[in-house]
Amino acid sequence: MASERDTVTTGVAGKLEWLRDSVKAHPEGAADSAWAWIGDLSRKAKTDASAADSDLNELFRLGTAPTGLNGPTEGMLVMTTTNPAFDAVVRAITALWMPWQGKRFDNQAATGDNRLTRSTGLVGKLLWPLYSMRDAAEGKLAFDFKTYVEAGKEDPDVDVMVIDYAD
């Protein structure tokens, strides 16, 4: 498989097209490249949040709602967009301690939860005293959600998978 460095890609759309073409012949390599790209966007957010946010929004608009998600998934905090001061605090804390490991999906029930490190238990009790976390083989489970597909709120022309924590 040609590396991204050997392939001319133009912006987000070009990179995504390259990944979609690559996945046909080399799914694992394409998955690794996609994960590396998201990591690059996370690092970019530290120095140019506006550009990283723009790239992520373009990537989102070019995507499709996932189907068939089932079981645990890895997660990465790419960036927060609350306000610059708060975002800097979140980056500093999560550089030292990242309790979130990813999500776990139950495709048939259209539900899921968040996978957290075992060390989240004590901090979780302090931050969310009324919320109970469940023990799991590799840590804790918390923050249950429902999933469904609908038009995006910001981009109503794009179908998105909603992760709904309302209940």
Domain map (residue ranges) of the chain? 1-63, 69-167
pLDDT at residue 69, rounded to an integer: 96
pLDDT at residue 103, rounded to an integer: 98
Strands 100-106 and 71-72: antiparallel
DSSP per-residue string spanning 93-135: HHHH---EEEEEEETTTTEEEEEE-TTHHHHHHHH-TTPPPEE
Tokens linked to 5: 């460095």
pLDDT at residue 128, rounded to an integer: 86
pLDDT at residue 8, rounded to an integer: 56
Name residue 112's beta-bridge partners: 105, 145
pLDDT at residue 147, rounded to an integer: 98
For Cα atoms 52, 55, 59, give the angle at the middle one, nearest 5 degrees: 135
pLDDT at residue 9, rounded to an integer: 65
> pLDDT digit string (tens) for 11-68?
999 999 999 999 999 999 999 999 999 999 999 999 999 999 999 999 999 999 999 9
Alpha helix segments (H runs only) across 48-119: 49-62, 84-96
> pLDDT digit string (tens) for 112-123?
999 999 999 888
> pLDDT digit string (tens) for 57-101?
999 999 999 999 999 999 999 999 999 999 999 999 999 999 999
Overall average pLDDT of the 154-165 stretch: 96
